């Protein structure tokens, strides 16, 4: 009688453990559902835009890394799970938690390139535990991405326009012959050195002080380099700015004027 009772306990206990294990396994699978954000590129009039370039940019302090994303005819599916970053980013297993911010950088032929607002990526300390991740683009809607969710976000592209920076001295006089380089800005060090910036182009200011720059919806880094003159070594000024207007005025010290003033005081 006692042996039968022990046998009963043995099998019912094993069955209960099996049920518990099954429940836990099911819960794990449910929790591990991938988190996807589909980016649907449009032309602002509900027309489909074909992406040519999609990149996830990760910023960790002064370090910037870029992961290419697979594109399809209808956009790009961004896997936002921490596990994807750890598997596809060299060293990501140890560095993900230290990510300060991330960006989604998109390009399409015939349209102005566009960069998302800074993203606190899932699994990073900046994102916080269990919080939804906010993803947005200039002129578009906002997506609140939670763990295990699959969402779609429309990204509105626009046609590029002519865009310039205009250099002048403190008195409004146009400065010509000054070299200007433009970049897409991601990060800079304490001494002003750009980290991982995407080079856009360079030019020399004309008689009106204007230099054309590539149009886009992102934050610019503009490097203005003045020639060395007597008593003044070549100097570089860095401006980080998101442009809202077609022309952006920059005030730069006029070295030639300084030289002239110094000569008069001698």
CATH code (residue 187)? 2.60.40.180
- Of 89 and 258, the structure prediction assigns the larger pLDDT to 89
Residues 219-253: tens digit of each pLDDT: 999 999 876 665 555 567 788 988 889 999 998 87
The residue segments making up the domain with residue 248 are 163-254
Q: What is the pLDDT of residue 111?
A: 97
Name the one residue in this structure whose structure tokens are 């000054």. 178
- Together in a domain, 188 and 133: no
- Of 112 and 235, the structure prediction assigns the larger pLDDT to 112
Share of the chain above pLDDT 70, in %: 79
Residues 190-230: tens digit of each pLDDT: 888 899 999 999 999 999 999 999 999 999 999 998 766 65
**First-to-last C-alpha distance (Å) of the chain:** 117
pLDDT band at 1 (very low <50, low <70, confident <90, very high): low
- Together in a domain, 47 and 131: yes
- Together in a domain, 110 and 171: no
Residues 88-107: tens digit of each pLDDT: 998 888 889 899 999 999 99
- Together in a domain, 199 and 90: no
- Together in a domain, 147 and 167: no
Residues 139-188: tens digit of each pLDDT: 878 999 998 899 999 999 999 999 999 999 888 899 999 999 999 999 99
| pLDDT at position 128 over 90 | no
Residues 45-100: tens digit of each pLDDT: 889 999 999 999 999 988 999 999 999 999 999 999 999 999 999 888 888 989 99
Which of 127, 156, 185 terminates a domain? The answer is 156
pLDDT band at 38 (very low <50, low <70, confident <90, very high): very high
Which of 108, 128, 156 terminates a domain? The answer is 156
Domain count, the chain: 2
- Together in a domain, 144 and 167: no
| pLDDT at position 10 over 60 | no
- Together in a domain, 151 and 167: no
Mean pLDDT of the region 6-17: 45
- Together in a domain, 35 and 151: yes
- Together in a domain, 227 and 143: no
Q: What is the pLDDT of residue 153?
A: 96
DSSP string, the chain: -HHHHHHHHHHHHHHHHHHHHHHHHHHHHHHT---EEEEEEE-SSS-B--EEEEEEEEEETTEEEEEE--EETTEEEEE--HHHHHHHSTTHHHHGGG--EEEEEEEETTS--EEPPPB--TTSTTT-TTPPEEEE-TTS-EEEE-TT-EEEEEEE------EEEEEE-TTS-B--S-EEEEEE--EE-TTS-EESPEEEEEEE--TTSEEEE---BS-EEEEEEEPPBTTB--EEEEEEE---SSEEEEE---HHHHHHHHHHH-
Within a domain: residue 260? Answer: no
- Together in a domain, 138 and 230: no
- Together in a domain, 136 and 242: no
- Together in a domain, 150 and 168: no
Which of 112, 127, 156 terminates a domain? The answer is 156
């Amino acid at each position: 009688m006692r042996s039968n009772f022990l046998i009963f306990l043995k099998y019912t206990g094993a069955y209960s453990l099996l049920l518990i294990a099954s429940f836990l396994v099911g819960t794990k699978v449910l929790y591990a559902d991938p988190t996807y954000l589909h980016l649907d590129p449009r032309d602002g009039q509900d027309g489909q835009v074909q992406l040519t370039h999609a990149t996830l940019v990760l910023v960790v302090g002064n370090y910037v890394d870029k992961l290419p994303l697979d594109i399809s005819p209808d956009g790009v599916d961004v896997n936002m799970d921490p596990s994807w970053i750890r598997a596809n980013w060299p060293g990501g297993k140890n560095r993900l938690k230290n990510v300060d911010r991330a960006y989604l950088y998109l390009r399409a032929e015939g349209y102005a390139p566009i960069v998302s607002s800074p993203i606190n990526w899932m699994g990073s300390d900046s994102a916080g535990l269990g919080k939804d991740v906010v993803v947005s683009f200039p002129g578009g809607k906002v997506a609140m991405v939670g763990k295990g969710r699959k969402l779609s976000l429309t990204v509105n592209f626009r046609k590029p326009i002519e865009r310039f920076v205009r250099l002048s001295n403190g008195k409004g006089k146009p400065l010509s012959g000054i070299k200007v380089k433009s970049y897409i800005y991601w990060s800079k060090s304490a001494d002003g050195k750009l980290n991982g910036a995407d080079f856009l182009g360079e030019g020399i200011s004309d008689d009106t002080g204007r230099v054309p720059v590539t149009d886009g919806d992102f934050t610019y880094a503009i490097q203005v380099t003045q020639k060395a003159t007597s008593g003044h070594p070549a100097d570089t000024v860095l401006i980080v700015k998101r442009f809202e207007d077609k022309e952006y005025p920059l005030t730069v010290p006029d070295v030639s004027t300084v030289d002239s003033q110094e000569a008069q005081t001698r």
